Amino acid sequence: MKIKKTRNIRNMLCILCCTLTISACAPLLLGGMAGTVVVATDRRTSGIQLADEEVELRAAARIRGMFGDTVHVNVTSFNLQVLLTGEVPNDKDRLAVVKLVSEVENVKKVLNELAIGPVSSYADRTHDVLISSKVKAGIIDAKDLMVNTFKIVAEHGNVYLMGRVTANEANRATEIARNVSGVNQVVRVFQLLTEDELRALNPPASAKAQTTPAPVK
């Protein structure tokens, strides 16, 4: 009985830690099936999604190798366009980080949103995680939007919205984010699609189902 209780407490602590760190923990908790759903609803190809993950890992490793704990930099890649947020001590380091990331394989563009100042506290980062979670929840509640088409980053109360979306979707998500408590400003980093381009990405179910019938014996 004692062993069972200890195991339950350990499991609860693991779930709590994942919830308080980064939103990327969610796919780990949900398992492989959830990962498949994300890939299916993401408007990037599976190859680009993988390339984005590799860009984030390589860029983070290079920054860590050069600067250690003297900077706090978040690297977010979407469709090979990289957003940099966080804090660095001075403008020299700011430019050095941008150069370092721009040289990572497959990076097409770097959006520099790094602030010059002291590294943010754990409380500040927890607050940003809470804000991004609220924005995601708002998008989920909006029945005409799919949350997996967006990447949401919060830093110092500023919310950055990324994704391949139509103008209407961009405006809807922006309105949701700007009305979330604690948000200072919303920065749009969208790659806009026309309605025709969106239809080409998501053909009607009837078009997908049109196949040659199997022969009958």
Q: Are residues 125 and 198 both part of a single domain?
A: yes
SS3 136: helix
Provide the pLDDT for residue 164: 97
Q: For tokens 């749009």, what's the residue?
A: 188
Share of the chain above pLDDT 70, in %: 76
Question: Which residues pair with residue 192 across a beta bridge?
Answer: 165
* Structural domain boundaries enclosing 135: 121-202
Share of the chain above pLDDT 90, in %: 73
Specify the number of domains making up the chain.
2
> What is the domain-level CATH number for residue 71?
3.30.1340.30
Classify residue 4: in a domain, yes or no. no
Task: For residue range 88-124, list pLDDT tens digits in order.
Answer: 999 999 999 999 999 999 999 999 999 999 999 999 9
**How many Cα neighbours within 13 Å face the side chain of 210?**
4
| Residue whose C-alpha is closest to residue 153's, from 181, 118, 128, 174 | 128
d(CA 122, CA 52) in angstroms, rounded, equals 26
Residue at which a domain ends, from 96, 119, 142: 119
Q: With bands split at pLDDT 50, 70 and 90, how would you rate the model's confidence at 16?
A: very low
Q: Are residues 58 and 112 both part of a single domain?
A: yes
Residue at which a domain ends, from 93, 119, 145: 119
Longest dimension (CA), the chain: 76
Task: For residue range 36-63, list pLDDT tens digits in order.
Answer: 444 557 999 999 999 999 999 999 999 9
